Structure 1
Amino acid sequence: MANRRSSVHDGPANPDSALEDMGYKSELPRSLSMMSILGLSFAIMAVPFGLSTTMAISLTDGQSVTVLYGWVFVSIISLCIAASLAEICAVFPTAGGVYYWSAMLSTKEYAPIVSWVDGWLGLVGNWTVTLSINFSGAQLILSAISLWNEDFAASQWQTVLMFWAVMAVAFSVNVFGAKYLDLINKICIYWTGASVIIIIVTVLVMSDDRRNAEFVFTHFDASASGWPSGWAWFVGLLQAAYTLTGYGMVASMCEEVQMPEREVPKAMVLSVAAAGITGIVYLIPILFVLPDVTLLLSVANGQPIDSYWIAGGGFALLFLILGILFFAGVGALTAASRCTYAFARDGAIPGSTLWARVDKRFDIPLWGLVLSTVVDSILGCIYFGSTSAFNAFTGVATICLSVSYGIPILVSLIRGREAVKYSSFSLGKFGFFINVCTIVWISLAIILFCMPTAIPVTPVSMNYASVVFMGFASISLIWYIISGRKNFTGPPVPVDHYAGQDGQVIGEGVGRTITGDKSSSNGSSEEKIAPPAK
């Protein structure tokens, strides 16, 4: 089990030296601040955009009570998950994120398989979050055409082409605007805050018919879902859970931040708290001016609230929300590319040598960015087979990221939370309770987000999240059988991670064999690192 000496805080103050102690060479410039990481996390969650594009789910499964109290409930749970991850991140701040943490928290015997499973879940989660953000953005852009042509309904090929265009913009900004990412992420905070205020003021002023407080705070109607009332409320939580998902993705940016053990955990938790408050401020006015729900749910593009307030506020509101889309799409692709890079450098993805390269012209993992963009662009073609593909993307993203967050938390719990005992972001005596709450919720979420929004189910309305999830799981399993079980040994382990109590024998790490003499009082040693086993 990890002991106190395995903590990054006992290593050099220089973050690059600390990273080397964890087994990696620093290849990316440390140009991002805590505010930038907070902005990136806030951008990925994209509260007004995420809540608007998934509003049909909660309107179908309970209306006001599901929309408002579902958001509050999921915000509290997400804060618990973010705090649990932040506690671990403060001890192991690497771009590998949950994948690396799972290995460090596991025993030497199980570290490779646990990190393999968690790594693939995190990777697929990163890809599908990016996919769902940019896909819904494409749908929103096309729905805005109704400002000028009320009868317009985008075809499948128009939607996919627009999605590819949105992906191309996000890719281009990540490549050619890489040195401006710190500024872009900071601007996102102010843009989103200003957009929320402008949107709610506009819709309140322009609305001629307002709901009463009873409707906003107590109205519940799940008749459109076909589910029993209680279960419908839980199914409707996908709206909030999808929006409040991406905060853990920013762990992949640890190697681009000075003092990541302090700044990244802080940004994770603050971004979730800010998103939770922003969501409440945004949702309550929207519910007060909500038109007839039946009419909203009949909107052809499947995004009723977007069509409503775009029509009410015109191009100005559309411009604001497209700005949020821009920050969300760029930020999600940034995090996904870093996740791809980190997982590839330990040989876990076919063609890893290429995907793990850092392009010296742009100082980014360019090929990891290319792979993330291409995979998402291909997955977008699922829309040709099913117009409910967006629900599958949101469901898979939420499931994969939630489970990838839960694995290191569960392993830490099983092992008595010893590894995080000396974390600089310690949850203290509340840690055990907070960790348990997160595991219970994630276990329930796996079931919930495979459910269709409404029953009876048709081929069109079916939730294909489980199908997409199993597809990726099959690829991961096949690649593990072909290559992983022979060559994959997990990420490298800090020098003294498996040291005995007497400090004499350091032992065999997960990814390499490390030997040395730890007998000196100051903990210094001469170490010999053998190459990873093949």
Structure 2
Amino acid sequence: MDEKNVEKALPPNTHTHIAQAPSPNNGYTGDRPHAGGGGDLTMMSGNGEAAARLEEMGYKQELQRNLGMVSVLGLSFAIMAVPFGTSTTLNIALTDGGPVTILYGWIFVSLVSLAIAASLAEICSVFPTSGGVYYWSAMLSTPKYSAFSSYLTGWLGTVGNWTVTASITFGGSQLILAAATLYHEDYVPTAWQTVLVYWAALLGSLLINIFFARHLDKLNTICLYWTGASIIITLLAMADTRNSGEFAFSHFDASPSGWPSAWAWFVGLLQAAYTLTGYGMVAALCEEVKEPAHQVPRAMVLSVVAAAITGLVYLLPINFVLPDITPLLEVASLQPMPLLYKTVTRSAGAALGLLFLILGIWVFATIGSLTAASRCTWAFSRDGGIPASGWWKVVNPRFGIPINSLILSTVVCALLGLIYLGSSAAFNAFTGVATICLGCSYAFPVLCSLLRRRHMVAKAPFSLGKAGFVINIITVVWISFSIILFCMPTAIPVTPTSMNYASVVFAGFSTIAAVWYAVNARKHYHGPTGSAVRVNGST
């Protein structure tokens, strides 16, 4: 792609070299001051090269680059939290098909997620910034629609990050209270008890993110080992198989859902789709990674591969030991996994031990998801995309992290928890909104790239090559279909308590975004090129 075409492709005031993939010789141009101070950037590597590249994209280096690929891989893996995610959403798959939905739904969504992750990784390798999807949309759109594309994608991505954090934290809170039923079968957690545990978990995650920020990379690495050990122990505990291979691989019963069989299978995909969403969130940590153009894209793709394998190893034994589904679906907490463990192991103590391993994974996931959500909020605020952005974009000088954005993300998630006081289907609403919003935010930059014949990623360090068009099309088509799919209730007929409120929550956030755009953002929001550190070097 020649320089003239690149200039036409970019938003106003954007240097042409931003659209080109960085190379080892892509040095500092000298037209802006180095945020870190000192040194010839053309001779620097590692953190210096990453900081120089960040300045080319219009931002100062404000966060410490102390993460490597394993840390990012661990964070992505922690957010997806396969054993935890598939356990807390097990009732969805059991309602909509059972073993066939659990197993083949996971395989199908894993393949599609791999295509999405690869599409995002390619773009991320060209634009490795914490702005992530909203920055990519701005760069890949035409100048006329750059700001609006960025604003729309930014809100979708931010809301998606918030609701993923809410759903992970909320699901674990339900699971904690469900553990009490192992010893007290008549105990039914109240809505207020669930919300209070949820708020306590959010507060704990906030404090860890603030006071142990320097150790988050170690926590993410530990998560990989904890998950592996948890799966091995779970397999050993459930080794006494009960069901036939025919049942585990081919039993399908959609009668609890009330939906036609084919449609029930698709609705049941929410279990896998919700679990496999976190890989794109790690783009928000690009400015804390030493070599983001290479390490973050690899971590995105490898985390999906690792999650896919992990899911198969964890879910297949569940199909073999799955007891009668009816009692599992009648659990008041909507979390059947504790009862499943107790039924299989014939011991409340053993079930509690297995549940402890899953809750350990939940702790890592809660911390990691709030980390990603806060960085996403901070990055979008840095460009004025959120009301009162001047407050949320501040990086605390003592801790070196955006504490205000951490607090905002925590408060938003805490307020979302109030939905549960009015509907027991709140968790399904969170999972649905998270999947829809993140999916849309992933699809939009990929669609922009497709519409422009993938010229902007032609020289990407992480290139999909000739397969790029097909992979990108799969990404856009699946996400478009999933928007409709995951607004559906998991079962019919629909009641006020079983209603899928994903569309309501989605509409609520959309209204806030639209009002803010009409009142303020359309006049003042200019997208990434309107950053506090502009591309032309002015402040």
Q: Give the TM-score normalised by structure 2.
A: 0.90
Listed one character per residue, the Cα deviations across residues 34-82 of structure 1 (whole Å, up to 9, x for unaligned) are 0000000000000000000001111111111111000000000000000
Quote the Cα distance in structure 1 between the aligned partners of 2:352 and 2:308. Answer: 27
Structure 1 residue 310, shift from structure 2 partner: 5.2
Tell me the CA shift for residue 148 of structure 1. 2.6
Residue 7 (structure 1) aligned with residue 20 (structure 2): yes
Greater shift, 5-14 or 33-42, is seen at 5-14
- Out of 263, 285, 290, the position equivalent to 1:258 is 290
Equivalent position SS for 1:419: helix
Which of 195, 216, 229 aligns to 2:230? It is 195
Amino acid at match of 1:7: Q
Whole-Å Cα distance in 1 between the matches of residues 178 and 508 of structure 2? 30
- Distance in 2 (CA, whole Å) between partners of 1:240 and 1:413 is 26
Gaps of 5+ in 1: 494-509, 515-527
Match of 1:86 in 2: 121
Tell whether the 8 Å contact from 1:310 to 1:318 is kept in structure 2 after alignment: no
2:312 is aligned with 1:277: no
- Paired position in structure 2 for 1:117: 152
CA RMSD of aligned residues (A): 1.5
Deviations 1:417-461 (A, max 9, x none): 001000011000000000001111001000000000011101111
Give the one of 381, 385, 388 matched to 1:351. Answer: 388
Identify the residue that residue 469 of structure 1 maps to in structure 2.
506
1:232 paired with 2:232, answer no
Write the distance in 2 (CA, Å) between the matches of 1:140 and 1:103. 40
Aligned partners of 1:461, 1:398: CA distance in 2, in Å? Answer: 19
- Between the aligned partners of 2:202 and 2:20, the Cα distance in structure 1 is 39
* 2:323 corresponds to which of 281, 286, 291: 291
Equivalents in 1 of 2:340, 2:319: separation in Å? 12
- Work out which of the residue numbers 172, 180, 187 in structure 2 matches 1:152: 187
Partner of residue 406 from structure 1, selected from 439, 443, 446 = 443
Asked whether the 8 Å contact 1:185–1:327 carries over to 2, the reply is yes
- Counterpart in the other structure of 1:370: 407
Give the secondary-structure state (helix, strand or coil) at the position aligned to 1:119: helix
Structure 1 equivalent of residue 167 of structure 2? 132
Instruction: Give the aligned residue type for 1:419.
Output: M
Structure 2 SS opposite 1:204 = coil
CA–CA distance in structure 1, aligned partners of residues 205 and 20 of structure 2: 36
Contact in 2 for aligned 1:40/1:185 (Cα 8 Å)? yes
2:149 and 2:70 map into 1 onto residues whose CA distance is 32
**2:529 aligned to 489, 492, 495, which one?**
492
Q: Which moved more, 1:115-124 or 1:316-325?
A: 316-325
Which amino acid is the alignment partner of residue 165 of structure 2?
A: T
Question: Cα distance, 1:511 vs. partner?
Answer: 9.2
**Structure 1 range deviating more: 100-109 or 146-155:** 146-155
After superposition, the C-alpha distances for 1:201-232 in whole angstroms (9 at most, x for unaligned) are 11224x6xx00000111111101111111111
Pairing partner for 2:247 from 215, 218, 223: 215
- Using a 3 Å threshold, how does the CA distance of structure 1 residues 511 and 315 change in structure 2: closer, same or farther? closer
The alpha carbon displacement at 1:513 in A equals: 8.1
Question: Where does residue 59 of structure 1 map in the other structure?
Answer: 94
For the residues of structure 2 that align with 1:9 and 1:255, how far apart are their CA atoms?
15
Query: Are 1:452 and 2:503 an aligned pair?
Result: no
The separation in 1 between residues aligned to 2:469 and 2:92, in whole angstroms, is 33
In structure 2, C-alpha distance between the alignment counterparts of 1:365 and 1:253, rounded to whole Å: 12
User: Structure 2: any 5+ residue segments left out of the alignment?
Assistant: 1-8, 11-15, 28-44
Match of 2:299 in 1: 267
Aligned to 2:203: 168
Structure 1 Cα separation of the partners of residues 210 and 520 of structure 2: 31
Q: 1:157 to 1:512 in 2, by over 3 A?
A: closer
* Residue 45 (1) aligns with residue 80 (2): yes
Q: How many residues align?
A: 499
Residues 330-386 of structure 1: CA distance to partner in whole angstroms, max 9, x if unpaired? 000000000000000101111101100001111110000000000000110110111
- Match of 1:357, as an amino acid? V
Distance in structure 1 (CA, Å) of the matches to 2:375 and 2:94: 35
